[in-house]
A and B are shown apart, each in its own frame.
Chain A
Amino acid sequence: MSLASVTSITATLLVIGIFVMLALNFDYIATNIESQVEMKAFLVDGLGQDVIESMKKNVESLDGVKTVTFESKTQALEKFKEKFNNNSYLLEGLDDRNPLPDSLIVTMISPNNAKEISESISKMSDVENVVYGKEVLDKLLKITYALRVGCLLLIAVLLIISTFIIANTIKLTVFARRREISIMKFVGATDWFVRWPFIIEGVVIGIIGSIITVLALSSVYMYFVKTLSGSMLGIMSFTIMPFSEIVIDTTFFVTCIGIFIGFLGSVISVRKFLKV
């Protein structure tokens, strides 16, 4: 078991691990934002309480709808006032003739359903208009999709590169034993008989590398979470993935990748020496 192999597999796993953590966070933040996306259905003025109740039920029964809350025009005005607290001149005279309509606020299970839901709601009677920040949402979906795919592609490329780095490192060990391998082949050893000790070695190196990587990355992440929660989280509208969750996921992915790289690396490095 060479120190060189452990070092190089740990180095590559660290890089891969950073991207795994980034990908996990993109995913986490994206789903967080997506779940916060609301849809507003503006209603015709002067509807009775019972009509509104039954409309609420109808909307709730639609596929993909999570919650429906009623916001009266007075409540809407209150909110509006709160938002523009300092610019009260804008609000002058609004109390007498409130221009804001009643509305139903709809949250969705997934923003992917937004289009169909908005279409179904607009078809209902007494609904004036449905808005859900279509462009913003579409852009957000595109960005998060691109980020996820980008991270995965990068991880795949890193995986290939690091497999060859590891294969080359393990090749040194195999090279030192090439005489033994060729004699094994002469007396009738099967390829797998020659291969498996190297594969075990590769997998063990992979596991050791993963452990070191996970320890290093998770302590850095813990530090990161601590500093962030103190200073910035209040300003930002999203949070990064909590420590307990990311540690489990990262450990899983990094260990799998470590074992995979170790396995494939040894298979590749032994291959040349089996041709006897």
Chain B
Amino acid sequence: MTHFFCRIIKDFRSLCRNIILKGCDFLIRLNDVNKVFTDGHKVLNNINLHIQKGEFVFLVGSSGAGKSTLIKLMLKETEATTGKIVIDNEDITKMRRRYIPHLRRNIGVVFQDFKLLQEKTVYENVAFAMEVIEASPREVRRQVPIILSMVGLSKKYDLYPQQLSGGEQQRVSLARAMVNSPKILIADEPTGNLDPDTSREIMKLLVEINQRGTTILMATHAKDIVDNMKKRVVAIEGGRIVRDEMRGAYCRET
């Protein structure tokens, strides 16, 4: 009997939520997402996260909290154990393997370690991202210089990653992430390897990208950046969302 009522209440709750959420323009929706690794380690616990189009969201939390795992779920690099993840109105938990490339073309990704190809020049590293999705050579020749000038690397297009500073390498990886104009940019500790000044420049670029309409989700440990920006902050601890504030700071305000 109680079981029956519980189910009715649960159904009613999710119905209400669906009605409310339908009205908004959510680009990313995570509902009751759990992730348990095969070794039994429960890394994400009942995550509910909704991100609107055009938002700038910081994901904070101590090491091992589950930030990178959350990001991997959105890229479908690993599967959620239970729950629903909807990105750009597509339920990716039910998505077939062969549609994953289309999901990823909608999401640009930037990592702490840049992940550039050392044997390719700046230009080639960015063009590579377009060639991979089978853009025409003409489009590549048109689009790559535009994006390189946006990140301020027009003059260094012919250099190899080893010839660049960390900040410049991160700009290249930003250019690569943005060259196919994705709706979402996910950055996993993009300033993790950079000094404060260089970090600030990268953040300036991210803000600019965000102002042009790209939704940004950024996992970070950089307290001063989060505190300065006064953007939405989602804090994770032990796999749970413990805080979600619209104009938040790195730590809970006391």
Contacts and interface: CB of A to CB of B under 8 A. Distances in A.
Interface of A: 179-180, 182-191, 193, 276
A188 B115 contact: no
- Per DSSP, chain A at the interface is helix
Interface stretch (B98-106, B147-155, B221-229): B98-106
Interface stretch (B33-41, B127-135, B189-197, B211-219): B127-135
23 contacts: A179-B115, A179-B117, A180-B117, A183-B117, A184-B132, A185-B101, A186-B75, A187-B105, A187-B128, A187-B133, A187-B176, A187-B177, A187-B180, A188-B103, A188-B180, A189-B101, A189-B133, A190-B98, A190-B101, A191-B98, A193-B132, A193-B134, A276-B77
B109 interface: yes
B133 A188 contact: yes
Contacts of A187: 104-105, 109, 128-129, 132-133, 176-177, 180
Interface of B: 75, 77, 98, 101-105, 109, 115, 117, 128-129, 132-134, 176-177, 180
Contacts of A190: 98, 101
Nearest to B116: A183
Contacts of A185: 101, 104
B134 A188 contact: no
B132 A189 contact: yes
Nearest to A191: B98
Which of A179, A184, A186: most chain B Cβ within 10 A?
A: A186
A182 to B, nearest CB: 8
Nearest to B115: A183
Contacts of A193: 132, 134
A191 B105 CA distance: 14
A185 B102 CA distance: 11
Nearest first, the 10 closest Cβ-Cβ pairs linking A and B are A188-B105, A188-B104, A189-B132, A187-B129, A188-B101, A190-B101, A184-B132, A188-B133, A187-B132, A186-B109
Contacts of B103: 188
Contacts of A184: 128, 132
B75 to A, nearest CB: 7
A190 B134 CA distance: 10
B210 to A, nearest CB: 20
Given A179-B115, A185-B104, 7 more contacts: A182-B115, A185-B101, A187-B104, A188-B105, A188-B132, A190-B98, A193-B132
Contacts of B132: 184, 187-189, 193
A179 B101 CA distance: 17
Contacts of B180: 187-188
A106 to B, nearest CB: 63
Nearest to B179: A187
B104 A186 contact: yes
Contacts of A183: 115, 117, 128
A178 to B, nearest CB: 12
Contacts of B98: 190-191
Contacts of B77: 276
A229 B18 CA distance: 87
B38 to A, nearest CB: 14
A189 B102 CA distance: 9
Contacts of A180: 117
Contacts of B176: 187
Which of A180, A182, A183, A193: most chain B Cβ within 10 A?
A: A183
B121 to A, nearest CB: 14
A156 to B, nearest CB: 30
Nearest to A274: B97
Nearest to A190: B101
Contacts of B101: 185, 188-191
A276 B77 CA distance: 6
Nearest to B106: A188
Nearest to B102: A188
A273 B84 CA distance: 27
Which of B105, B132, B177, B180: most chain A Cβ within 10 A?
A: B132
A119 to B, nearest CB: 61
